[in-house]
Structure 1
Amino acid sequence: MGLSVIQEQRDVILQEIKNITQDDWKCLIVDGTSKKIIDNAVKEDDILNINIATIERIEDRREPNPEMDAIYLLSPEPHIVECLLADFESRRYNRAFLLWTNLLGPSLRRRIDEFPAIRQVRASSKTLFVDFYPRESHLITFRDPWSFPMLYHPACNALVPKHMQTLAQRIAGVCITLGEYPKVRYYRPKSAFHEASVLCSHLARFVQEELDGYAHWDPNFPPPTNRPQANLIITDRSMDLMAPLVHEFTYQAMAHDLLPIKEGDKVTFHTVINQGTADAQDKDMELGDRDKIWVDNRHRHMKDTIDKLMGDFQRFLEQNPHFTDDNADTTNLNAIRDMLAGLPQFQEMKEAYSLHLTMAQECMNLFQHRKLPDIASVEQTMSTGLDEDARKPRNVLESTVRLLDDDAVAPSDRLRLIIIYVLYRGGLIVEDIQKLLTHAALPPQDGEVVANLELLGGKTSHALKETRQPALALFPRDPKAGEPSEEYSLRPWTPTRT
């Protein structure tokens, strides 16, 4: 699998704690945010096994322990610093080893440095640069749901500079944790008319300044490596507005699009284990890098995923013939799931396969019920500008309206179709957009959803006789690329850089 950001973050946290404990028992004090960072990458047992006696929240009431040293792994926030100073004031612990998830601001640093007995209380202070949340081995989030509207809503312009600085520090922190001092590149759209078109260039500059500042402060950064210098490419959603709108049929994309997956501190799917038996139980199953079946299949086309799940189960039966039911149909998802319910000896394997067979089956049920093959065909025609024969499409509006008339097409899919059509046409007159929404039985306020794409660089409306130039494809299709086979005809095409 190669480099895993989850493993890198885990190693940094555990190694720093281990360096401090030195086989001597200490308390670990965390706050709400830093605990989420730790829990995302590190098991609690792994921490307790390196001479940590207790893990406590700094915001909670705690018993004093003046004879024991404490390791504080904290977020650099004002209220957390106040809690820390309160601990110092009461001498709750003997000495304090401070670890910060990100850079401590100058004013907060002064608050700590000016504490009267700081030299007696503070044993050390270090920044770990771990203020991020790896979701997968190669995917990182910052869990900031307000970031997107803050960056693109015109009313939030005054908040953008400070937020960009925070983002730059976090992005630089990821690079520092990975030991990378990358070349910073950014996306600059051509002929952009939206105000936010400068965000990528500004963020790239902020990130470069953060990395340069850290390299100046730490002469050992970056550490020696055999890897070539990395490239950090900063882009935003305006680069491709179609991608989140079209239906994609790889397993992970399809599951997140169609199923009620919960995305909180963990990504989970609610299912019933041992369904149809006396041992049936409801359970929230985590979808993450510890789930080998999920990792192996999440980027496969759904057809390949189902084939692999069935093939793996067939191999299991071949290796364990005493579990085989001669009357069972091992080519049917439901039959395989029923067989799994009768294998109590393989609980972990049974739960994992039961989860993914259930998810795959539910995805395919919705795939047919919601007319997704028909929808996806029209979506791909509009998003690529070519029909299935790689020619300029005809009757696109008629195909779109036909789907808007179909009761099986969900309202959310109708809105997606309208947005894709508007972007495909390079904008419509406002009255025509309202007609499409009315025809699709969608509320008039959905027109604001369409219009707001202008904030991301999408052209959604134009005057009646306005002259328009066709938009050039950012990544034109490679004319030498072969056509996909019919069974993969709905797989999104692969763009080629030119």
Structure 2
Amino acid sequence: MVLVTAARDYINRMLQDISGMKVLILDSQTVSVVSVVYSQTELLQKEVFLVELVDSISKSKESMSHLKAIYFLRPTSENIKHLRRQLANPRFGEYHLFFSNMLKDTQIHILADSDEQEVVQQVQEFYADFVASEPYHFTLNIPSNHLYMLPAVVDPSSLQHFSDRVVDGIAAVFLALKRRPVIRYQRTSDIAKRIAQETAKLMYQQESGLFDFRRTEVSPLLLIIDRRDDPVTPLLNQWTYQAMVHELIGIQDNKVDLRNIGKVPKDQQEVVLSSEQDAFFKSNMYENFGDIGMNIKRMVDDFQQVAKSNQNIQTIEDMAKFVENYPEYKKMHGNVSKHVTLVTEMSKIVEERKLMLVSETEQELACNGGQGAAFEAVTNLLNNESISDIDRLRLVMLYALRYEKESPVQLMQLFNKLASQSAKYKPGVTLPNYHWLPASTSSDCSKPVIFALSIYSMRKFLLVQFLLKQAGVDKRTGDLYGNRDFLNIARNMARGLKGVENVYTQHQPLLFHTMESITKGRLRDVDYPFVGNHFQQGRFGAL
């Protein structure tokens, strides 16, 4: 069972078993859960005539006793408080309470005590505490979650809240899939270890009965890792359709906001990109940018043929056929316009930022090992005034990650170049020591460096320095560049001999090789230990 189907099944069960006119009441997180798998049209078909947020309902006193209220909420203390107030003065004829995760006994008692007028018809747990943006991809929509990889810079209470939310989300996914996994984690990550241990405690001790599912031949594996093992992938510009839209424009809950990109028709200012609702997107979401352009042209040509044939209305039968086919015609028109708009806007960005030029060097930094050529290529791009500040910074970061041990002096030269381009303020700003430079490199390398820097330049320096401190070679578990392990070296040599089909998409994320190691039983226990004694011999699947 895939995740979209699991989430849809839960929502179907909520809505179809309750007859009559309904109001669906959500919180700020469950509204995302519902919106990615259920359309407004589908809600209307289930007789849902109103959708409200739980905190908005608390502010209104209008009686709607003709409606049945379906609440779908996360079991948070804040939501329980809202329910207490609303049950004390009920506005709806019936209350059906569904929670996206496990309720505590104390919360159940609070709800029971609050229902003095006995309007609550049912209380159930439906484990859809995740946003299923794709059949095999979910998110928890946690803002700034990268900060939690660094426990030292996060308030302990915030860290606990983050950890609890991640554990809850993971638990809901496995409850929806009716599986209990074997759990492993990245040894070098404190937060990965913490989440793995708390998840195991929940599944194997606190709620072991709830997770007591029939064992399958292939045991599911839950592997907890953090971004520090692969800081390269998010620094690279992407060249496949879905990834490009997200990188250059932004996707949130399968929606793309186009209001700030220029003149766009009102019906195109927010568009949906969902593989479940858009056949063209489903077929092309992983295609590279060059192929996307050709595929969209074919779609436009097909649409023009349909539009032309529809205009040839000569008889009553032709008119009736046109009216019968009009909804599909209108849907096709919207789909064509959406994809043409997206590709047109991305083409503008690619040209303005010279991303093809930038990306070629990025891919060389990520995939090949020629330090001298890399230094020259990055230097040339830093000198190019058409390259944006963010792309310059990313290039220096990629170089720093690749050659932090091999060429510290050249790295300092690149940073001098990066910093000097925005030197507009008073000279004499003293930077802290370069932590990646060993004192023995030269007599000057261990001393503070003086630059005429703007505040922005200082920030760029600190970002590069912080990146190496948190995700440099000494902090990483895996063989990020494939130059330590014999099998990785052999694979890279073979790829070099065969050539690369597309220079812009030659990089493979470390996660790809990690998954490959899992399926072949080669993931090292010392790097990715099992939690407790839940190790099981045999084959493993992975989530």
The TM-score, its normalising length taken from structure 2, stands at 0.71
Q: Deviations over 1:330-368 (max 9, x none)?
A: xxxxxxxxxxxxx99944323322332343344344434
1:209 counterpart = 2:201: yes
Cα contact 2:102–2:125 (8 A) shared by 1: yes
3-state SS, counterpart of residue 133 of structure 2:
strand
Q: Is the 8 A contact 1:273 1:281 kept in 2?
A: no
For residues 104-253 of structure 1, what are the structure 2 equivalents within 5 Å?
A: 104-105=103-104, 107-115=106-114, 117=116, 120-152=118-150, 154-159=152-157, 160-189=159-188, 197-213=189-205, 216-218=208-210, 221-222=212-213, 228-253=218-243
Mapped contact 1:250–1:300 kept (Cα < 8 A): yes
Bigger relative CO (Cα 8 Å, ≥ 6 apart): 2
- In 2, distance between residues paired with 1:224 and 1:49? 38
1:230 deviates by 2.6
Shift in alpha-carbon separation, 1:453–1:271, aligned structure 2, 3 A: closer
1:406 is displaced (CA, Å) by 0.3
Amino acid corresponding to residue 288 of structure 1 in structure 2: S
Which residue of 2 is the match for residue 363 of structure 1?
346
- Counterpart in the other structure of 1:380: 363
Assess, with a 3 A threshold, how the Cα gap between structure 1 residues 223 and 310 changes in structure 2: closer, same or farther: farther
CA contact (8 A) 1:271 1:284 kept: no
Residues 1:263 and 2:246 are matched in the alignment: no
Partner of 1:407: 385
Cα gap change, 1:32/1:307 in structure 2, threshold over 3 Å: closer, same or farther?
closer
**Aligned-pair distance for 1:158?**
1.1
Unaligned ranges ≥5, structure 1: 190-196, 325-342, 387-391, 462-469
Partners of 2:394 and 2:126 in 1: how far apart?
42
Whole-angstrom CA distance in 2 between matches of 1:394 and 1:30: 57
What residue in structure 1 maps to residue 488 of structure 2?
A: 476
* Identity, % of aligned positions: 19
- Structure 1 distance, partners of 2:141, 2:297, is 36
Do structure 1's residue 100 and structure 2's residue 99 form an aligned pair? yes
Please, what is the CA RMSD of the aligned residues? 3.9
Selected match of 1:286 from 272, 292, 309: 272
1 CA distance for matches of 2:20 and 2:333?
42
The match for 2:403 among 418, 425, 437 is 425
2:457 match: secondary structure? coil
Name the CA distance, whole Å, in 2 between partners of 1:242 and 1:125: 46
Partner letter of residue 297 of structure 2?
Answer: M
Amino acid at match of 1:266: K
- Give 1:148 shift: 2.4
2:126 alignment partner AA: L
Following superposition, the deviation at residue 35 of structure 1 comes to 3.4
Q: Give per-residue Cα distances to partners, 1:43-88, cap 9 Å, x unaligned.
A: 3443454465655544321433568764332232333222212233
Report the Cα distance in structure 1 between the residues aligned to 2:114 and 2:246, rounded to whole angstroms. Answer: 49
Q: Deviations over 1:256-310 (max 9, x none)?
A: 333x3463683333599998xxx99763322223222222212111122223223
What secondary structure is seen at the aligned counterpart in 2 of 1:144?
A: coil
AA matched with 1:263: Q
User: CA 1:14–1:440 in 2, change beyond 3 Å: closer, same or farther?
Assistant: same
1:386-442 Cα distance to aligned partner (Å, 9 max, x none): 3xxxxx453322221111000111111000011111111126479656514324436
- CA displacement, residues 240-259 of structure 1 (integer Å, 9 cap, x when unaligned): 1100112221122233333x
Amino acid in the other structure paired with 1:236: D
2: CA distance between counterparts of 1:402 and 1:460? 29
Deviates most, 300-309 or 361-370: 361-370
**3-state SS in 2 of match to 1:13:** helix
The answer to whether the 8 Å contact 1:414/1:440 transfers is no
Please give the alpha-carbon distance, in whole angstroms, between the structure 1 residues aligned to 2:16 and 2:207: 25
My pick for the range that moved more, 265-274 or 164-173, is 265-274
Q: Name the structure 1 match of 2:35.
A: 39
Distance in 2 (CA, whole Å) between partners of 1:157 and 1:126 is 34
1:28/1:56 contact within 8 Å kept: yes
Letter in 1 for 2:391: D
